[in-house]
Structure 1
């Protein structure tokens, strides 16, 4: 799983709660949109990264915003099948419409209270980790 989040407090809550889930094996974090695309494309310093099974994407990011990242990923034939969950503070209808127009798989608005964010992350992890059926990636010989 890849978390694209520039807010350290939000990232800490999300990562701490995801790591508690037995079905979440690894959570990596980048802090801006440029790093997100470098990570996803395996560009230095992320050459040895594993392709994430899910991307948690904030919209309000430095250097390249979340909508731009979403557009780039969904336009890339190698990356477009990775589910992208927008996890943002924006409840603006224009942001939601744009995200879904760019093929976001889900749009979640971060609650203001840390305990509510924790509950949201737990529920999201259960849905995407247990109930949802992702595409299986083919095994690649070493």
Structure 2
């Protein structure tokens, strides 16, 4: 378990405030020390990742959780732009969405998503899914330090 000053940073790209709250709550109930930073769409996510404007001091995330359907720039458009950011493109991006459409799954993986999770409707199942996701990406998987 990391020291408190060594929190894992997760960037949550989600436009629905209730889902942001639920995701943060789910991580708090988990066993990992996670600091969740949230932005409302792909435009803000790119600014965050490139440390532009209000995000100039933003920490680099170890994981990005990405909704697909958002205003201004949705998840698929974000993935297209994100994968062109050479120094950041190795950060795993897991799509976390309500869509179960096979087309969305295929397109997300084709655009470089590291995973695709359909948001469970049940709160307890959602919390369990976030805990499993956190255990896998932040505790089990070895990621490059760059």
TM-score of the two chains, using structure 1 as the length reference? 0.91
Q: Which runs of 5+ in 2 are unaligned?
A: 1-9
The equivalent position to 2:61 in structure 1, one of 44, 52, 57, is 52
1:34 aligns with 2:43: yes
Higher fraction of strand:
2
Local SS of the residue matching 2:55: coil
Kindly indicate whether the alpha-carbon contact (under 8 Å) linking 1:5 and 1:61 is maintained by their aligned counterparts in 2.
yes
Moved over 2 A (4+): 19-25
1:103-141 deviation per Cα after TM superposition (whole angstroms, max 9, x unaligned): 10000000111111111101111111211111123xxxx
Local SS of the residue matching 1:96: helix
- 2:74 paired residue number: 65
Kindly indicate whether the alpha-carbon contact (under 8 Å) linking 2:26 and 2:126 is maintained by their aligned counterparts in 1.
no
- 1:140 paired residue number: none
Kindly indicate whether the alpha-carbon contact (under 8 Å) linking 1:24 and 1:129 is maintained by their aligned counterparts in 2.
no
Q: CA deviation at 1:22?
A: 4.6
Size of the alignment, in residue pairs? 137
Q: CA deviation at 1:79?
A: 1.4
- 1:79 paired residue number: 88
RMSD between superposed Cα atoms in Å: 1.2
Local SS of the residue matching 2:54: coil
1:36-58 deviation per Cα after TM superposition (whole angstroms, max 9, x unaligned): 11101111010111111110000
Alpha-carbon distance in structure 2 between the residues aligned to 1:15 and 1:25: 9
Kindly indicate whether the alpha-carbon contact (under 8 Å) linking 1:57 and 1:87 is maintained by their aligned counterparts in 2.
yes
Q: Which runs of 5+ in 1 are unaligned?
A: 138-142
Alpha-carbon distance in structure 1 between the residues aligned to 2:137 and 2:12: 14
